Amino acid sequence: MLEVTQLVELQAVDTQLQDLNELLGDLPKKVDKLRLEEESLINAVDKGNNRLKEIELALNKAEHHMAEIKQKIDKLKDQLSLVTSNKQYDALTQEIEYLKQAMNEAELEDLELEEEKETLQNDLQEKEENLESLSEDLRIRRGRLENLIAESADKKSELEKEREEKSIHIDPSVLGRYVRIRDARDGLAVVTIDRNSCSGCGFVVPPQTVSVIRKKTLLYNCDICSRFLYFD
């Protein structure tokens, strides 16, 4: 078989393989992007829930702490009526003021924790809603991708086998040129001459060259786009 004919047949197989890949489009990338977003949201929700547990424990601890302080203050106030000297009275009063300051700090901490808890709960609710929506979108897209892959798997395997069989019979140096041109020209390395012009880039091929290409005895590359030319 003439080498130009072999290249034409190889190009036909590669074009079909390219069509199969384009059938999937950017769906694999979108699925992967959604998967990463889902993982990020899941981690954020887990982190938020863990922090929420920490806040609940801290609030519980703060409540107990404030109750203890109040109990101490009440006890000291009861003792005020029993003191017999100004020195004892001043000491108790000073301790009560110290405990009141501690109570103010504990109440402020409690308030800050409650505010953080409310903000975090609202944020978690939003993230969980987004996660539910994103997971559903991911499930649908993943299903579509799996269906498309399943539908095209057999055909792709068949074409890849055919491509391998055709490549064996082409001179390695020619095959190397073909692959380089194909990769550089959006998958199209072999094109026809249409009205004496390269159908790949539109370059007008000289008449004497067209005559040579018609005979299919020599390989010829377009002077502009480097694609292999053939006359159909």
pLDDT value at 228 more than 80: yes
Amino acid identity of residue 16, one-letter, is Q
pLDDT tens digit sequence for 35-78: 899 999 999 999 999 999 999 999 999 999 999 999 999 999 98
When pLDDT is cut at 50, 70 and 90, the band that residue 80 belongs to is confident
User: By the 8 A CB rule, do 179 and 162 touch?
Assistant: no
Q: Which residues contact 198 (CB under 8 A, 6 or more apart)?
A: 191, 205, 222, 224, 225, 227, 229
User: By the 8 A CB rule, do 213 and 195 touch?
Assistant: no
Average pLDDT, integer, range 155-170: 92
Among 18-32, 100-114, 205-219, the range of highest mean pLDDT: 100-114
Q: Residue 145: what pLDDT?
A: 82
Q: Which residue has the higher pLDDT, 150 or 166?
A: 166
DSSP summary character for residue 205: P
Residue in 187, 181, 183, 165 with CA at minimum distance from that of residue 220 = 181
At residue 201, the 3 state secondary structure works out as coil
The model carries a pTM of 0.58
Q: Residue 198: what pLDDT?
A: 93
pLDDT value at 1 more than 60: no
pLDDT value at 85 more than 80: yes
Domain 25-153 has CATH 1.10.287.1490: yes
pLDDT value at 224 more than 70: yes
58 phi, psi to nearest 5 deg: -65, -40
Quote the CA–CA distance of 66 and 58 in Å, as a whole number.
12
Q: Residue 26: what pLDDT?
A: 79
Structure tokens at 26: 């950017």
When pLDDT is cut at 50, 70 and 90, the band that residue 84 belongs to is confident
Q: Residue 31: what pLDDT?
A: 87
Residues facing 90 on adjacent strands:
none
Question: Minimum mean pLDDT among 39-43, 90-94, 95-99, 144-148: which range?
Answer: 144-148
Q: Residue 22: what pLDDT?
A: 83
Q: Residue 74: what pLDDT?
A: 92
Residues shown for the chain: 232
Structure tokens at 173: 């140096």
| Domain limits, the chain | 25-153, 175-230
pLDDT tens digit sequence for 203-222: 999 999 999 888 888 899 99
User: By the 8 A CB rule, do 229 and 222 touch?
Assistant: yes
Average pLDDT, integer, range 158-176: 93
As a whole number of Å, the end-to-end CA separation of the chain is 16
Structure tokens at 126: 């939003």
Q: Which residue has the higher pLDDT, 1 or 113?
A: 113
